[in-house]
Amino acid sequence: MIKINIFLILLVTALPSFSAQRLEPIYSDEHDFRVVTLSEGLEHPWGLAFLPDGRMLVTERPGRLRLIEEGKLNPTPISGLPEITASGQGGLLDILLHPDYERNGWLYFSYVAFGSGGMGTHVARARLDGMQLRDLEVLFSLNIESMSGRHFGSRLLFDRAGFLYITIGDRGDQPRAQRLNDHAGSVIRLHEDGRIPQDNPFVNQPDAAPEIFSYGHRNPQGMALHPHTGEVWLHEHGPQGGDELNHVRAGRNYGWPVITYGVNYGIGTRIGEGTHKPGMVQPNYYWIPSIAPSGMAFYFGDRFPQWRGSLFIGSLKFRLLTRLELNNGEVVKEERLLRGTLGRIRDVRSGPDGLLYLLTDESNGRLVRLEPDGVGQR
């Protein structure tokens, strides 16, 4: 615990004071805040990670890893990435530091690449040496590839026990999410080095992929660890309606495409068998119409005390940030912030300085920070 506390202190003190463009105050139910632009010129940024020295790493979907230092985007991308396929919704996607990064230097990232059967989600790790990645290791590759450019999933998370979680979308082929021999439409759980945990729920089941932790997911693009309970939460895109927020548990079937609160695009007809079925999990919360969620973070910082315990989720479709209040794991309130202010919000992170950071998914994407305005509390 002492080591973790020292690490967090170093992170907070290392974060620079940016000279940045400020927007007008935003008024919300609990806090008034400002949006501060830290960096621009990012091409469809997807994931964000905070380095211990205060620098930040940002992935760009076309296949570049960028470094931001003291609010300035280094014009030279970091070299040493594997070959990446930027096609459709795919490319270089999420990024994550190992929980013991200061000791071992491992950085994890998800990306799309071609194999013998088409495209698929991959996860690799490497060490950052100056402006180059070294010691590259590919830890995971989708077991059944296809030519579809949709639904790669690709959020990454470490839990408190040190297991690595990876979200995988159904690749635009709905039935795959119900097939236990197929990684598509699932949450993958691995050891930090890519080994398969022997207590994974399907590890001893014939004709099942042993990496699978849960299944029946459509396209999860947000995943977060609850800081108090240690539970893994994710959200996933529905079709026309039916975006879901779920608490991920071992071996559970989350229903897609057998049950859903969404309908077929355009024609509005029912998908699957309805909204409920025995043996399939009901979402903790769902959205109709779809907000197209991406990125997710629990907030437990000190700068916005009235937001403590809230869950923040970006919206691509409605170009907003949604704040969910939870009580014993149940959503009791939703507040929508920044509607039409920033554009498509791709990623949401709670920073070590107690502030919230957002990435906008645009050809000229931005990294922005939410800061209290005045007393910061209404």
Looking up residue 160, the CATH number of its domain turns out to be 2.120.10.30
Lowest-confidence region among 13-27, 167-181, 307-321 = 13-27
* Tokens of residue 60, six digits: 């760009």
How confident is the model at residue 66, as a pLDDT?
Answer: 98
Find the Cα–Cα–Cα–Cα dihedral 146, 109, 349, 98, rounded to 10°.
140
292: domain range?
2-372
CB 246 within 8 A of CB 254: yes
User: What DSSP assignment string belongs to 25-38?
Assistant: PEE-SS-EEEEEEE
Average pLDDT of the residues in 183-203: 98
Provide the sign of the torsion angle of the four alpha carbons 118, 156, 161, 177, taken in this order.
negative
Q: For the chain, how many structural domains are there in total? A: 1
Give the residue numbers annotated as catalytic, written as ranges: 151
In a domain, residue 378? The reply is no
Helical segments of the chain, H only: 2-14, 101-104
User: What DSSP assignment string belongs to 348-363?
Assistant: EEE-TTS-EEEEE-ST
In a domain, residue 34? The reply is yes
How confident is the model at residue 378, as a pLDDT?
Answer: 52
In the predicted structure, residue 197 carries a pLDDT above the cut 50: yes
How confident is the model at residue 71, as a pLDDT?
Answer: 84
| Exposure letters 225-245 (e unless 16+ CB within 10 A, then b) | bbbeeebbbbbbbbbbbbbbb
In a domain, residue 377? The reply is no
pLDDT in tens, 147-170: 999 999 999 999 999 999 999 999
3-state secondary structure of 162: coil
In a domain, residue 175? The reply is yes
Find the Cα–Cα–Cα–Cα dihedral 121, 206, 218, 324, rounded to 10°.
-100
| Residues ≥6 apart with Cβ < 8 Å to 93 | 46, 47, 59, 61, 109, 110, 111, 112, 121, 152, 154
Q: Among 253, 229, 246, which residue's Cα sits nearest to residue 287?
A: 246
pLDDT in tens, 226-249: 999 999 999 999 999 999 999 999
Average pLDDT of the residues in 283-300: 98
In a domain, residue 301? The reply is yes
Q: What is the mean pLDDT of the chain?
A: 93
In the predicted structure, residue 13 carries a pLDDT above the cut 90: no
The total number of residues shown for the chain amounts to: 378
Amino acid identity for residue 353 in this structure = D
How confident is the model at residue 23, as a pLDDT?
Answer: 59
Lowest-confidence region among 202-206, 257-261, 374-378 = 374-378
The percent of residues above 90 in pLDDT, for the chain, comes to 90
| Residues ≥6 apart with Cβ < 8 Å to 175 | 257
Q: Look at the pTM and tell me if it is higher than 0.85.
A: yes
Return the higher-pLDDT residue of 294 and 23. Answer: 294
In the predicted structure, residue 14 carries a pLDDT above the cut 50: no
